Amino acid sequence: MLGKRLGGGPLLTGKTKVLGLLGWPVGHSVSPAMQNAALASLGLDYVYVPFNVAPADLAQAVRGLAVLGVCGANVTIPHKEAVFPLVERLTPEAQAVGAVNTLVREKGSWVGHNTDGEGFLEALREEANFALEGKRLLLLGAGGAARAVAFAAAGAGVSLLLIANRTPARAHTLAEALARRFPCRVRAIPLERGSLAAALAETDVLVNTLPLGMYPQVEAMPPLPPEALEPPLLVCDLIYNPRPTKLLSLAASRGCCTLDGLPMLVAQGALAFALWTGRKAPKEIMRRAAEAALAARQGEPRLGGAEEEGARD
């Protein structure tokens, strides 16, 4: 049939709405598989296309998407912060976090959202049945994902937030920004074994946002003393390749409950899907598509360089 794509893919027409992903590189991303599966399952006339955009071309790419009538996009590494000044409006979440992971075209303007923090909260609620209110959280990292988790957790009512980062100044800056806005106690601490051991003694939930342990460096893990990982501590790792990471395997072997990064990946994508389409996302279909895309990646030849960094949507 005219126009029908090989392999049973969507029939694209002049009316098909286009969604995109801006990243560099994007070849690794599981978002196209996850979003296209969701769109197809609801019979929506949309297509989600990955765009490999070098940092120097980002401003031009964002303008280009508007000119081409693209109605929404995800933004991934390394553009989540650089896209910030390129949008006309920001949601309070994106403004607070200082990073955008979702663009929505609204009345001729780009609106920048950040669904990572809410995605993390949703994963915690739905997968780990864990409510953060009144809990003490130890956060490893102060990058984009850490900031999204930190603001979401503070907004959800944690009583104590400890932040450990390789570059101490970033942890201090984040701690100060949180302390100005939320009533919880916030402290920046060194990313060192001794400090982390002491911090774990007053922690209910540990959240790793460092890329240590991400494929292909699967033997790496944050400098945590294994003996300090003890129930009832909940251990979360934002990494979803591999599943589980070395950190989560160790925590589980010591009896802790664990949560890997896939539920958050699906939840942040589902929130973006709902913003673009106005429809509730089929999360189970998205999860299965993401798992299949990750499994397919394991069978691919090794690429080297940035493409080897593992999936980082």
Q: How many CB atoms lie within 10 A of CB 208?
A: 26
For residue 246, indicate whether it is catalytic: no
Coil, strand or helix: which one is 74?
Answer: strand
| Catalytically annotated residue among 15, 17, 80, 246 | 80
Q: Which is nearer to ligand NAP, 4 or 248 (CB)?
A: 248
Which CB atom, from 90 or from 150, has the smaller least distance to ligand NAP?
A: 150
Stretch that binds ligand NAP, among 16-24, 244-252, 264-272, 288-296 (CB under 6 A): 264-272
Contacts of 101 (CB under 8 A, 6+ apart): 74, 75, 76, 80, 113, 114, 115, 116, 148, 268, 272
Residue 239 touching ligand NAP (CB under 6 A): yes
Map residue 206 onto helix, strand or coil. strand
Q: Does 268 bind ligand NAP (CB under 6 A)?
A: yes
- What mask, x for binding ligand NAP by CB under 6 A, covers residues 137 to 156? ----xxxxxx----------
312: contact with ligand NAP by CB under 6 A: yes
Burial 36-56 (b: 16+ CB within 10 A, else e): bbbbbeeebebbbebbebeee
244 binds ligand NAP (CB under 6 A): no
Calpha distance 236→143 (Å, rounded): 16
Q: Which residue is nearest to ligand NAP (CB)?
A: 143
In whole angstroms, the minimum distance from the beta carbon of 264 to ligand NAP comes to: 4
Please state at what angle helix 144-155 crosses helix 116-128, rounded to 10 degrees: 60
> How many residues belong to the site for ligand NAP (CB under 6 A)?
26
Q: Which residues bind ligand NAP (CB under 6 A)?
A: 77, 116, 119, 141-146, 165-167, 170, 209-212, 214, 238-240, 261, 264-265, 268, 312
* Residues identified as active-site: 80
